[in-house]
Structure 1
Amino acid sequence: MFVHVVDEEIYLKLVDQNDAVRLFELTDRSRSHLKKWLPWLNDTNSVNNTMQYIKESRDSFAKHKSMNTAIIYRDEIVGVAGFNEFDWNNRTGSIGYWLDQHYTGRGIIVRSAGALTNFAFTELKMNRVEIRAAKENVKSRAVAERLGFQLEGFIREAEWLYDHFVDHAVYGMLSREWKGFRF
């Protein structure tokens, strides 16, 4: 099983069926917080929906298409971070993340995304890592900026978010630009 230590407080582990109840609880209690920026909340109404997500994530990982990990902070699952997709032909990966609202403001996502970026360049030998966020999602965009990703532009109406389209800000980091991440 994939486990990656981020620091003394955080590690990432591949999501598995044993995480379903906790992940659903986090999703449910942070629903209104997450719904501002994530399009899948209406489709996650039960532990069974979360179990299906985990099954699909594991299948996609086995096919080397993506990698979704549970964020473990001080021995508690607090969210998910990982690679939404890999493009092995072009050696690129796209990072995504979400965090329970009760754990925001502690640098958990920045540290997790930094560790994933480092992993992509050092272990997976990727050339490029991308982070996309809704243009108006200032907190998510700040993660990419804090890690030194370059704002490359905007994609107009890139995602349908329940009742409207949102533009995406696209951030990129190249392996030759990455200097690592330290607090």
Structure 2
Amino acid sequence: MFVIPLSDTLPAELRPLEPWQAEEFLAHMDRGRENVGQFIGFADRSTDLESARATLQRYADRAAADTGRIFGIWLDGTLVGGVMYANFDAAAGNCEIGVWAEPAGEGLGLISAGVRHLLEHALVTRGMQRADWYSSTLNARSRAVAQRVGMRLDGVLRSYYPYGGVRHDKEVWSILADEWRAGDQRPGR
């Protein structure tokens, strides 16, 4: 297993999130369900130990197939959020990054730091061409992360999907490999 420090000033780290951690993941979902569940569907689907394990197993299966992966963010030993490749298509050279956090993980720069590591891995290590970011136009925190890591708004898909009894407009953000390599958002810079 690997651990990536996310802050010089906080005891925060990025690690793979795996099915054996379902109990910890469920406790995290329970603490942040109201916050996370506003925009992230697996908060509604992970309501007991079995369903939490199933959520993590789906990502373990996707990691084995090289089509997705989920990572947790721990602050002082407590799971407070995460980042993921919601989709990872190495053959096409495209991926989609997603994030979530309970209130204890917000406003500390940890989500942005985690996203930077995923972008570096996808666009530099794996040689992908494009990383996408999709979010509801109502999700200002998500939009701020996309902007913070140097993504550009490609457009808005109006009334694109139903969630929580509301039709949401979906923002489409992206960053290309050349933009990422030329930018100053890369880890260690």
TM-score by length of 1: 0.91
Give the fraction of aligned pairs with identical amino acids, expressed as a percent: 22
Q: 1:68 aligns with which of 70, 89, 92?
A: 70
Q: 1:157 aligns with which of 137, 152, 159?
A: 159
The 1:16/1:53 distance shift into structure 2, 3 A limit, reads same
Q: How far apart, in 2, do the equivalents of 1:126 and 1:3 lie?
A: 23
SS at 2:178 equivalent: coil
SS at 2:145 equivalent: helix
Deviation digits for residues 49-96 of structure 1, max 9, x if unmatched?
A: 110111111111100110111112333322221100112232011000
Q: How far apart, in 1, do the equivalents of 2:34 and 2:81 lie?
A: 15
Counterpart residue number, 1:91: 93
Q: CA deviation at 1:158?
A: 2.6
What stretches of structure 1 of length at least 5 have no aligned partner? none
TM-score by length of 2: 0.88
Q: What is the RMSD computed on CA atoms of the aligned residues?
A: 1.8
Q: For residue 41 of structure 1, what is the amino acid of its counterpart?
A: A
What stretches of structure 2 of length at least 5 have no aligned partner? none
Deviation digits for residues 79-123 of structure 1, max 9, x if unmatched?
A: 221100112232011000111112211111111111111111121
Counterpart residue number, 1:113: 115
Decide whether the 8 Å contact of 1:114 with 1:180 is kept in 2. no
Counterpart residue number, 1:100: 102
Counterpart residue number, 2:56: 54
Q: 2:127 aligns with which of 121, 125, 128?
A: 125
Decide whether the 8 Å contact of 1:39 with 1:160 is kept in 2. no
Q: 1:19 aligns with which of 14, 18, 21?
A: 21
